Amino acid sequence: KIAISWFRRDLRLLDNAGLYHALKSGFSVLPLFIFDRAILDQLENKEDKRVTFIYQAVADLKKQLKELDSDMEVQYGFPVDIWKSLLEKYDIAEVYTNHDYETYAKDRDDEIASLLKKSGVEFKTFKDQVIFEKQEILTGQDTVYTVFTPYSKAWKAKLNDFYLSSYPTKKYFSKFYKTKTTNIPTFKEMGFIETDHDFPSEKVRSALIENYEETRNYPALPGTSRIGIHLRFGTVSIRDLARKALEKSDTWLNELIWRDFYHQILWNFPQVGQGKAFRADYDKIRWRNNEKEFKLWCEGKTGYPLVDAGMHELNETGFMHNRVRMVTASFLSKHLLIDWRWGEAYFAEKLLDYDLAANNGGWQWAAGSGNDAAPYFRIFNPTAQAEKFDSKGEYIKKWVPELNSLNYPAPIVDHKFARERCLKAYKEALNKDK
């Protein structure tokens, strides 16, 4: 009998909770990765860089495991079908994996757990991708925090070495199942095309974190870690990063806490991930949803240089600086009165670090409909934001080189007009009289 350690968004051998428990189970451990068709079939861009990122991470795991005389079983298909075939192929005693807080993943895991149960196989799951999950951080009244600042205080108060220490998997590497399994399915078999491998490094420089407070708001500077994609797919451990943050920068630690915060929001209020505003009132807003304007926003042709620069950065690199994410998201939902869910979906398609919980949280924050969101009457002025955070215009020049040519479009909407129109629409929906 063997145990299977099923990797999903935890693509590393070190400090991996589920893997650690599997290796200690007493059974030989076979690592598994499934290229999940239910997810991949939905990606319209067949040159999606994130698929290349995962592929590369899986190939790397396979290589590391081969050096330990083991291997990783890598399959392509729908998880239920794959698990049915694995139950026939191997004599499985237990399956280990890490929690995933998204609705699709929860449903998938429930289905797999009951399938395995029918064969007498236990499905054991662990917290791995966050420091605190689900309802580990509650208010004095045992309710879930929906406002960030008190949540972060409680988060910090609960933190101790136990939550920060790594799972010492390496000690148990001799427990991997000795095997030579199958190859990785090719990109072609999965209907994808391999892209370049130009991804941000998983190493975070200490100097960067030390200066984070001063540099983080200026999109022209390389002032943030760009670690998002690694956190998304688990090629770094959140515990390693949190220890580093604790030592070097409280501000950076706060960003990691925002990540935990939005994950617990998604878990406790799953409706936010299913198209619902966190504040139900906001679903009464009558969006204009002008498709032509949406297209101009997507293409970075709004005539507002900071918005356009952000969209160009996103379209060309799969990254956008946080300050600019806030400005572009606010512009779409408030200036153009386009349903924030359209923008959320566009970011989901383009961002390398796309994460349902954080993206949804960010969009609802910008639109005003989220927990702890910007109040409805606070409407970013994209020109003032550019003056404040890109005063020399370096970021804008980099991403909108056509700015000083005749080709650069006039603003698609006047700021003052858009502001009034937004306030009116929001007030109407929210029943505000001032």
Residues marked active site are found at 255, 258, 287, 322, 340, 363
Candidate ranges 64-72, 104-112, 164-172, 352-360; the one touching ligand FAD (CB under 6 A): 352-360
The minimum distance between CB 124 and ligand FAD, in angstroms, equals: 26
Closest contact distance (angstroms) between CB of 340 and ligand FAD is 8
Determine if 353 is a binding residue for ligand FAD (CB under 6 A): yes
What count of Cα atoms within 13 Å lies in the side-chain half-sphere of residue 381? 9
- Any contact of residue 325 with ligand FAD (CB under 6 A)? yes
Site for ligand FAD, residues 158 to 217, rule: CB under 6 A:
216
Q: Could you identify the residue written with the tokens 């030592």?
A: 247
Q: Is 260 annotated as a binding residue?
A: yes
Q: Which residues contact 169 (CB under 8 A, 6 or more apart)?
A: 13, 14, 15, 16, 19, 20, 23
Distance CA 300, CA 413 (A): 14
Length of the chain, please?
A: 434
389 binds ligand FAD (CB under 6 A): no
In the sheet with 122-126, reading across from the earlier edge strand, the strands are 73-77, 28-36, 2-7, 92-98, 122-126
- Give φ, ψ of 315 to 5 degrees: -65, -35
Find the part of the chain contacting ligand FAD (CB under 6 A) among 179-187, 253-261, 301-309, 383-391. 253-261
E strand or H helix at 123: strand 122-126
Q: Does 224 bind ligand FAD (CB under 6 A)?
A: yes
CA distances to 83, 149, 236, 329 from 359, rounded to whole Å, are 31, 19, 20, 11
CB 354 → ligand FAD: shortest distance, Å?
4
Residue 179, Cβ density class (10 Å: 0-12 exposed, 13-18 middle, ≥19 buried): middle
Coil, strand or helix: which one is 96? strand
- Tell whether residue 368 is a contact of ligand FAD (CB under 6 A): no
Q: Which is nearer to ligand FAD, 218 or 262 (CB)?
A: 262
Instruction: Rule CB under 6 A: choose which of 248, 259, 334, 335 binds ligand FAD.
Output: 259
Q: Which of 337, 340, 327 is nearest to 382 (CA)?
A: 327
Residue 65 sits in the site that holds ligand FAD (CB under 6 A): no
- Residue 362 binding ligand FAD, by CB under 6 A: yes
User: Which of the ranges 1-9, 18-26, 268-276, 320-328 carries the binding residues for ligand FAD, by CB under 6 A?
Assistant: 320-328
Q: Which of 75, 6, 50, 345 is nearest to 192 (CA)?
A: 50
What are phi and psi for residue 248, nearest 5 degrees? -110, -35
Is 123 annotated to bind ligand? no
Radius of gyration of the chain (CA): 23
* Residue 57 contacts residue 74 (beta carbons within 8 Å): no
In the bound complex, what is the minimum distance in angstroms from residue 263's beta carbon to ligand FAD? 9
Distance from C-alpha of 43 to C-alpha of 45, rounded to nearest angstrom:
6
Site residue total, ligand FAD (CB under 6 A): 27
- Determine if 351 is a binding residue for ligand FAD (CB under 6 A): yes
Based on the shown chain and the rule CB under 6 A, indicate whether residue 332 belongs to the binding site for ligand FAD: no
Q: Are 302 and 285 in contact (CB under 8 A)?
A: no
CB of 255 to ligand FAD, least distance (A): 4
Residue 54 in marked binding region = no
Tell me how far, at minimum, the Cβ of 212 lies from ligand FAD, in Å: 7
| 373 binds ligand FAD, rule: CB under 6 A | no
Pick the piece of the chain touching ligand FAD (CB under 6 A) from 29-37, 111-119, 291-299, 360-368: 360-368
Q: Is 198 annotated as a binding residue?
A: no
The binding site consists of 212, 252, 255-262, 353-355
Q: Where do contacts with ligand FAD occur on this chain (CB under 6 A)?
A: 216, 224-228, 231, 255-256, 258-259, 262, 322, 325-326, 329, 347, 351, 353-355, 358-359, 361-363, 366
